[in-house]
């Protein structure tokens, strides 16, 4: 909640910049209003930023058919006095900061637009689009927006729905930024062809209220969802499956790892971190990079092939492709880590073979009361290598048949066989998907 408030209540930059560039202010306000509507309220106000909802959105969003372009103007008017000025030095954007102040006379409802049809008039008095509330007497409009936005249950619903979708594979409301509040509850009369939008509206409300009561604690929200029986279900379903069951979370939804998750899973499995710079600090995981979309070289190409976008853009759910399969088999992002001499997991395991043999002999003696034959000790060591690679890569032990195949791979060349085994495990669908 504090992040949302800070976003709309940004204070003046303390330093006077050397130079400024002011883009079309009204268009910038419109874009920002659409963006925070999607992100913080889960509602796409883009259409009514150009025209009334009536006679346009009847097949898209019933709630927005009752909203007008003037309603959008009045929502945007919370930023009507605000300037957001980009800082420039020597013809280039100086940084990602803006100078923000509130000195303008108000939102211009009769102005041209670079990206929309001209604004043809209407009230520019701020009014919150969900409940028609306005700033209190003397209250700064942006302060009022921060209060009204975070105080409305739709703010909590949208946040909960996004976290739920991230953890469960699909949201209670889909699309995540397409809430239709007219179709929210199952007790209204809907036009023909329309159905209730959420799969579990009352559950979402309960989670939203709990999220509010926790002080908007994401840790509390994640813990609550993770402790639910729905989250802990297996992806396997013992009975005949019907597609309609999917929206009711009757089993765990299998989903492809995100580009960052996949990269960092490879790093964890192989024990070979990356070498990236993030804000002047050296980091080893993609999730630690300020904007992974701009990582250069082989790793950057790998991330983008799996759908990595800039953190400034709306996230897109990853989809599989043949290119991704080829990269998992041939990319240096994978191969260099599996074959890393002396520093990777395979190399370190083989460097510790002698110590493993001593442990295997001691364990055998403790279990049987006598020393093992050399081939028995060697077999125990090899089985240990296979088990460690399975645990580090797939987080499980090998099945009996898998153990037999893996041991065969180690027969001729221990190093080559172990590298081939981990490469094969990294390319299993089981590694690429969250089950």
Tokens of 23: 């883009």
Q: Say what the pLDDT of residue 3 is.
A: 62
Comparison of pLDDT for 392 and 306, the residue scoring more: 392
Give the residue with greater pLDDT, 407 vs 1.
Answer: 407
pLDDT band at 100 (very low <50, low <70, confident <90, very high): confident
pLDDT digits (tens, 9 = 90+) for 356-372: 777 777 887 788 887 77
The pLDDT of residue 75 is above 90: yes
Sign of CA dihedral 157, 162, 164, 165: positive
Confidence category of residue 175, pLDDT binned at 50, 70, 90: very high
Which tens digit of pLDDT belongs to each residue from 320-346? 889 999 999 999 999 999 987 778 999
Question: In 3D, which of 125, 144, 146 has the Cα closest to residue 77?
Answer: 125
Q: Give the CA angle between residues 228, 391, 406 to the nearest 5°.
A: 135
pLDDT mean over 19-32: 70
CA–CA gap between residue 413 and residue 410 (Å, rounded): 6
- What mean pLDDT do residues 257-276 have? 92
- CA angle at residue 121 from 118 to 124, to 5 degrees? 115
What the block records as the tokens of 116 is: 């929309």
- Name the band, by pLDDT with cuts 50, 70 and 90, for residue 318: confident
Q: What is the pLDDT of residue 200?
A: 96
Question: What pLDDT sits at residue 219?
Answer: 98
Are residues 225 and 168 in contact, defined by beta-carbon separation less than 8 angstroms? yes
Mean pLDDT of 302-306: 87
φ, ψ for residue 43, nearest 5 deg: -125, 130
Q: How far is CA 121 from the centre of its chain?
A: 39
Q: Is the pLDDT of residue 16 over 70?
A: no
Give the pLDDT of residue 154: 98
Computed over every residue of the chain, the mean pLDDT equals: 88
Whether 20 has a pLDDT exceeding 60, the answer reads no
Peptide bond into 175 cis (omega under 30): yes
pLDDT of residue 23: 44
Report the range of poorest mean pLDDT among 153-157, 185-189, 417-421.
Answer: 185-189
CA dihedral over 48, 51, 55, 59, signed as positive or negative: negative
pLDDT at 9: 53
More confident residue, 242 or 223: 223
pTM (2 d.p.): 0.82
Strand 276-278, strand 281-283: pairing: antiparallel
pLDDT of residue 262: 93
The pLDDT score that the predictor gives to residue 315 is 74
Q: Give the rounded percent of residues in the chain with a pLDDT score beyond 70.
A: 94
135: closest CA among 122, 145, 150? 145
Beta bridge partners of 282: 277
Q: Would you say 295 and 289 are in contact if contact means Cβ atoms under 8 Å apart?
A: yes
Q: Residue 8's pLDDT band (boundaries 50, 70, 90)?
A: low
What residue has token string 């890569």? 393
Q: Which tokens sit at 229?
A: 């029986």
Q: How far apart are CA 19 and CA 93, in angstroms?
A: 10
Residue partners of 325: CB distance under 8 A and separation at least 6: 427
Could you tell me which residue, 244 or 183, shows the higher pLDDT? 183
430 C-beta neighbours (distance < 10 Å), count:
12
CA distance 189 to 186: 9
Q: Is the pLDDT assigned to residue 243 strictly greater than 80?
A: yes
Gap between the Cα atoms of 70 and 108, Å rounded: 12
**CA 284, CA 274: separation in Å to the nearest integer?**
4
Residue 313 has a pLDDT of: 76
Most confident of 247-256, 373-382, 384-393: 384-393
Q: What is the pLDDT of residue 291?
A: 80
Q: Please calculate the CA angle 376-380-386 and round it to the nearest 5 degrees.
A: 145
């Amino acid at each position: 909640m504090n992040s949302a408030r800070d976003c709309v209540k940004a204070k003046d930059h303390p330093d006077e910049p050397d130079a400024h560039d002011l883009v079309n202010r009204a268009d910038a306000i419109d874009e920002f209003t659409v963006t925070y509507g999607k992100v913080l309220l889960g509602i796409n106000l883009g259409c009514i930023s150009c025209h009334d909802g009536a006679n346009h959105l009847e097949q898209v969003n019933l709630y927005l058919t009752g909203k007008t372009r003037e309603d959008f103007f009045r929502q945007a008017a919370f930023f009507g006095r605000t300037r957001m000025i980009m800082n420039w030095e020597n013809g280039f954007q100086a940084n990602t900061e803006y100078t923000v102040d509130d000195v303008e006379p108000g939102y211009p409802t009769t102005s041209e637009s670079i990206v929309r049809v001209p604004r043809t008039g209407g009230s520019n008095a701020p009014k919150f689009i969900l409940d028609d509330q306005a700033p209190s007497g003397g209250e700064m409009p942006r302060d009022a927006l921060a209060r009204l936005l975070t105080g409305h249950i739709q703010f909590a619903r949208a946040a909960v729905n996004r976290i739920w979708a991230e953890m469960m594979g699909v949201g209670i409301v889909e699309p995540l930024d397409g809430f239709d509040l007219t179709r929210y509850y199952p007790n209204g009369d809907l036009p023909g062809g329309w159905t209730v939008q959420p799969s579990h509206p009352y559950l979402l409300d309960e989670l939203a209220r709990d999220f509010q009561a926790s002080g908007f604690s994401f840790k509390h929200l994640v813990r609550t969802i993770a402790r639910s029986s729905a989250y802990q279900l297996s992806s396997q379903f013992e009975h005949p499956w019907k597609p309609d069951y999917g929206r009711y979370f009757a089993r765990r939804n299998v989903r492809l790892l995100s580009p960052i998750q996949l990269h960092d899973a490879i790093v964890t499995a192989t024990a070979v971190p990356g070498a990236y710079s993030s804000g002047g600090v050296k980091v080893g995981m993609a999730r630690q990079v300020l904007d992974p979309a701009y990582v250069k070289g082989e790793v950057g190409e790998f991330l983008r092939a799996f759908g990595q976008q800039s953190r400034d853009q709306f996230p897109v759910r990853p989809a599989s492709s043949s290119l991704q399969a080829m990269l998992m088999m041939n990319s240096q992002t994978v191969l260099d880590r599996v074959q890393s001499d002396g520093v990777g997991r395979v190399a370190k395991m083989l460097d510790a073979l002698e110590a493993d043999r001593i442990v295997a002999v001691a364990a055998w003696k403790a279990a049987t009361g006598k020393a093992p034959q050399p081939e028995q000790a060697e077999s125990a060591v090899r089985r240990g290598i296979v088990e460690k690679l399975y645990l580090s890569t797939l987080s499980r032990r090998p099945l009996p048949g898998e153990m037999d195949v893996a041991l065969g791979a180690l027969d001729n060349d221990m190093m080559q066989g172990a590298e081939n085994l981990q490469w094969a495990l990294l390319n299993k669908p089981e590694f690429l998907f969250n089950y």
